[in-house]
Structure 1
């Protein structure tokens, strides 16, 4: 049985709930969900330019946990961009 997931501090949420290729109906697209903590990690490190250690402190996780979240988020974004999949944003961890 895995350890319970520690809540992450998330301050920013996406402006839109979905990004998809133009001209392709959503019903025809594979959907990939980007969790709110993955979005926050991308926002802090890639958009705000924070070091991973600073972003980890802000999210209240270890640096290694942040690195794992960031790796997962980047893979999902690149997968959607290269394979023409829809990227669905999770609004929160409810």
Structure 2
């Protein structure tokens, strides 16, 4: 988690790298892991399950609406974040539709 997080921050915000390293080395891993898992679960429930049950479950419109809500919810602040969240939203929508 530390390597992935610091590499993502290096790609998007180089001036936050020392703060990220300090946070990752001083914060207990259990509360962070629990909050990441619960947040991920609720995001998937909201952006995939509810949107897909509200719209047609296997359509491109569903994937686009789910992806749009996903990246708008995360409020990307630059172009790198925008592409990151659009890519993640599309990938997660396609995985949900394939299952």
Give the TM-score, by structure 2 length: 0.31
Name the larger-Rg structure. 2
Relative to its length, the structure with more strand (as a share) is 1
Structure with the greater relative contact order (CA < 8 A, sep ≥ 6): 1 or 2? 1
Please give the TM-score of this superposition, normalised by the length of structure 1: 0.32
Name the structure with the higher helix share.
Answer: 2
